[in-house]
Amino acid sequence: MPQTITAARLHTQAQTWINPVITLDDDGRIQSVESAAASTDDTILTPTFFDIHIHGAVNHDVMEGTPEAFARIGSFLAARGVGHYLATTVTAGIDATLRALEGIATQVELPSHEGATPLGIHLEGPFVSHAKRGVHPPEHIVPPTIELFDRFQQAARGTIRLITLAPEIPGALDLIRHATAKGVKVSLGHSNATAAETHAAIAAGATSATHTFNAMRPLDHREPGILGVVLDDPTLFAELICDGIHVAPELVRLFYKAKGASRAILVTDGMSATGMPDGTYMLGGFEVEVADGRCMANGVLAGSVLTMDRAVANFASFTGAAFAEVTDLASTNPARMLGLEAQMAIAPGQPANFNRYNPDGTLHATILNGRRVV
């Protein structure tokens, strides 16, 4: 007998269904979506979140590349509304990075996952600026080359979907063109680029910006730099860490006015300390001290302990934007940036992946493949 899922509303970027009745097949895939005349259900359904920038959680880092690490991370993320994510690396030695990519690829290639599904890899580093490296270890930062990127992608067995790089570094534009031609998206970040250097990177194919405001050349009224271009260019997607620590609420509002509902992307930049008490945790190969929500290494912010449900709630609170609109920033927009919107759509034949919210906007449950996981 077909299973059905009901709610007061189903919001997608394409439309909002009133009193939806979603019929599923035995495999947890959507057969149909229709509107009923009435419903006693007062909850709201949205697509599950897609975190394209996350390093780990619950005392595990994705660079461990082990079944245990990915099982624990995936289970935790699903409990916070995440259905899919990109396992994000951090700058390390080349051999260590190659080993990590091989291990992550093995987990990405698994036919099924109990919790959130890793859809690929976000390579953050080693092609970053020394001037805006943040916590990326300086001894492992290297210039971008097509040869090294291809070695990384070979180790990852083609699962790298996104790379972060600084566009001002010699060789960056050639790599942007090469990666883009291979179907890998390029995000600009950890960068001290001028406006001209940023425009050149966008012309070469870059499509997004990594954790806007953080590890970027400051805005200047005569040299707007990378930040000015990121905020101004209507074609560029842009990430934001909305934990109230990385970016002040005033600038969250400015960011939303600049990027709008179709280009803004919420990310967590979460690290292994996410979901854990204060203490010392690992980010890639180095230690991070966590206290009162701040992750610090050598006096610099090092990732976050933000969860995506909290990011959505913060963003709605800071901006006053409609809750249903904000959920798109954490689901539809990252999928669109990566060219995965069809794969992630709420449509017949697609897996039934939903977040269910109470009327007050609190996350009530996560449904993956038609089954409630939390």
Catalytic residues: 269
- Sequence-distant (6+) residues with CB within 8 A of 276 are 58, 59, 290, 305
DSSP 8-state assignment for residue 304: B
Sign of CA dihedral 245, 312, 119, 274: positive
Partners of 294 in the β-ladder:
291
Residues 92 and 62 sit within 8 Å (Cβ to Cβ): no
* Separation of alpha carbons 215 and 136, rounded Å: 11
Q: Are 91 and 137 in contact (CB under 8 A)?
A: yes
Cβ neighbours of residue 130 under 8 Å, at least 6 residues apart?
138, 141
Residue of 352, 313, 308 lying closest to 331 (CA atoms):
308
d(CA 139, CA 4): 55
Asked if 315 contacts 266 with a C-beta cutoff of 8 angstroms, the reply is yes
**Cα–Cα distance list, 45 to 12, 37, 193 (Å):** 9, 17, 41
Q: For residues 155 and 161, what is the distance between their CA atoms, to the nearest angstrom? A: 13
Tokens 């260590």 appear where?
96
Report the relative pairing of strands 16-18 and 185-188 from DSSP bridges: unpaired
- What's the residue count for the chain? 374
Tokens of 205: 């194919």
Strand-pair partners of 122: 88, 162
Name, in order, each residue with C-beta under 8 angstroms of 257's C-beta and a sequence gap of 6 or more. none
